[in-house]
Structure 1
Amino acid sequence: MKWLSHFAMSALVVLPLLSVGALAQTYPSKPVRVIIVFPPGGSNDVVGRIVFQKMSESLGEQFLIDNRGGAAGTIGADVVAKSAPDGYTIMVQSATHVANPHLYKKLPYDTLKDFIGVTTLARQVGMLVVHPSLPVKSVREFIALAKARPGEVIYGSAGNGSFVHLTMALFASMTGTRMIHVPYKGGGPSGIAIVAGETQAMIATIGSLFPHIKANRVRPLGVTSDTRTEQFPDVPAIAETVPGYEFTAWVGLFVPAGTPKAIVDTLNAEIKKVLAQPDVVQKLTLQTLDPMYMTPEQFAQRLRSDYDKYAKVVKISGARID
Structure 2
Amino acid sequence: MHRRTTLLSLCAAAAAVAVTALPWQVQAQELPKKTISMVVGFAAGGAADTAARVIARKLAENTGLTVVIDNKPGAGGNIAHQYTATGPSDGSVLLFGSVGPLAIAPHLMKLPYDPVKDLAPITMGVNFPNVLVVHAGLKIRTFAEFIDFAKKNPGKLDYASTGAGSASHLAGELMDDMAKIDTVHVPYKGGAPALQDLLGGRVAAYYSTYSTAQPHIDAGKLVPLASTGPKRLPQLPNIPTIAESGYPGYSATNWYAFVASAKVPKPTLDRWNTELVKVLKSPDVVAELNKHGMPPMPGSREDLAKEIARESAMWGRVIRDRKITME
Task: Say whether the 8 Å CA contact 2:39–2:93 is kept in structure 1.
Answer: no
Q: Is 2:33 the counterpart of 1:30?
A: yes
Structure 1 residue 320: Cα displacement: 0.8
Q: Measure the CA separation in 2 of the matches of 1:200 and 1:29.
A: 46
Q: Summarize the Cα distance change of 1:119–1:243 in structure 2 as closer, same or farther, 3 Å threshold.
A: same
Deviation string for 1:95-120 (max 9, x for gaps)?
2222232333x322111111111111
Q: Secondary structure at the match of 1:291?
A: coil
Q: Summarize the Cα distance change of 1:19–1:100 in structure 2 as closer, same or farther, 3 Å threshold.
A: farther
Q: Summarize the Cα distance change of 1:282–1:293 in structure 2 as closer, same or farther, 3 Å threshold.
A: same
Q: Summarize the Cα distance change of 1:79–1:202 in structure 2 as closer, same or farther, 3 Å threshold.
A: closer
Q: Measure the CA separation in 2 of the matches of 1:91 and 1:256.
A: 9
Structure 1 residue 132: Cα displacement: 4.5
Q: Measure the CA separation in 2 of the matches of 1:197 and 1:66.
A: 30
Counterpart of 1:5 in structure 2 is none
Counterpart of 1:239 in structure 2 is 243
Aligned with residue 170 of structure 2, among 166, 172, 184: 166
Q: Secondary structure at the match of 2:130?
A: strand
Q: Summarize the Cα distance change of 1:161–1:83 in structure 2 as closer, same or farther, 3 Å threshold.
A: closer
The more displaced of 275-284 and 299-308 is 275-284
Q: Measure the CA separation in 2 of the matches of 1:190 and 1:86.
A: 35
Q: Summarize the Cα distance change of 1:22–1:110 in structure 2 as closer, same or farther, 3 Å threshold.
A: farther
Structure 1 residue 300: Cα displacement: 0.5
Q: Secondary structure at the match of 1:269?
A: helix
Root-mean-square deviation over aligned CA pairs: 3.0
Q: Summarize the Cα distance change of 1:47–1:220 in structure 2 as closer, same or farther, 3 Å threshold.
A: closer
Counterpart of 1:52 in structure 2 is 56
Counterpart of 1:7 in structure 2 is none
Counterpart of 2:324 in structure 1 is 318
Q: Summarize the Cα distance change of 1:57–1:228 in structure 2 as closer, same or farther, 3 Å threshold.
A: same
The more displaced of 92-101 and 22-31 is 22-31
Counterpart of 1:157 in structure 2 is 160
Task: Say whether the 8 Å CA contact 1:34–1:92 is kept in structure 2.
Answer: no
Q: Is 2:132 the counterpart of 1:128?
A: yes
AA aligned to 2:176 is A
Q: Measure the CA separation in 2 of the matches of 1:283 and 1:253.
A: 18
Q: Secondary structure at the match of 1:44?
A: helix
Counterpart of 2:80 in structure 1 is 76
Aligned with residue 253 of structure 1, among 245, 249, 258: 258
TM-score normalised to the size of structure 1? 0.80
Counterpart of 1:273 in structure 2 is 278
Q: Summarize the Cα distance change of 1:134–1:82 in structure 2 as closer, same or farther, 3 Å threshold.
A: closer
Q: Summarize the Cα distance change of 1:220–1:170 in structure 2 as closer, same or farther, 3 Å threshold.
A: same
Q: Summarize the Cα distance change of 1:77–1:131 in structure 2 as closer, same or farther, 3 Å threshold.
A: closer
| Unpaired stretches in structure 1, ≥5 consecutive residues | 1-17
Q: Secondary structure at the match of 1:113?
A: helix
Deviation string for 1:223-261 (max 9, x for gaps)?
011101121111111121211111121111112224343
Task: Say whether the 8 Å CA contact 1:155–1:182 is kept in structure 2.
Answer: yes
Q: Measure the CA separation in 2 of the matches of 1:318 and 1:92.
A: 26
Q: How many residues align structurally?
A: 302
Structure 1 residue 150: Cα displacement: 5.2
Deviation string for 1:28-84 (max 9, x for gaps)?
251253241434333333322221222222223333443344433333323322345
Structure 1 residue 270: Cα displacement: 2.1
Counterpart of 1:110 in structure 2 is 114
Q: Summarize the Cα distance change of 1:182–1:312 in structure 2 as closer, same or farther, 3 Å threshold.
A: same
Q: Secondary structure at the match of 1:112?
A: helix
Q: Is 2:294 the counterpart of 1:289?
A: yes
Task: Say whether the 8 Å CA contact 1:126–1:248 is kept in structure 2.
Answer: yes
Structure 1 residue 193: Cα displacement: 4.9
Q: Secondary structure at the match of 2:116?
A: coil
Aligned with residue 223 of structure 1, among 224, 227, 238: 227
Between the aligned residues of both structures, percent identity stands at: 32
